[in-house]
Homo-oligomer: A and B are copies of this chain.
Amino acid sequence: MTAPQFNSWQTVHDEVLRRIHAREWPPGCAIPNEADLATEFGCARATVNRALRVLAEAGLLDRRRRAGTRVALHPVRKATLSIPLISAEVVARGLRHGYTLLVRSEARPPAPVRAQLGTGARPLLHLIALHTADAAPYVFEDRWVNTAVVPGIRDVDLTQETANAWLVANAPFTHGDIAFSAAAATGAEATHLGCRPGSALFIVERTTWNGPAPITLVRLAYAPSYRMQTAI
Mark A residues whose CB is within 8 Å of B. Answer: 20-21, 23, 27, 59, 74-85, 88, 168-169, 172, 174-184, 198-203, 206, 208, 210, 222, 224-232
| B76 adjacent to A83 (CB under 8 Å) | yes
- Cα separation A184 to B178 with both chains bound (whole Å): 23
| A81 adjacent to B83 (CB under 8 Å) | no
Least CB separation from A200: chain B residue:
B200
Minimum Cβ distance to chain B for residue A201 (Å):
6
Identical copies in the complex:
2
| B182 adjacent to A229 (CB under 8 Å) | no
| A231 adjacent to B180 (CB under 8 Å) | no
Contacts of A200 in B (CB 8 A): 182-184, 198-201
Least CB separation from A229: chain B residue:
B179
A–B Cβ pairs within 8 angstroms, 10 of them: A21-B174, A74-B84, A79-B80, A79-B82, A80-B80, A80-B81, A177-B231, A177-B232, A182-B226, A199-B200
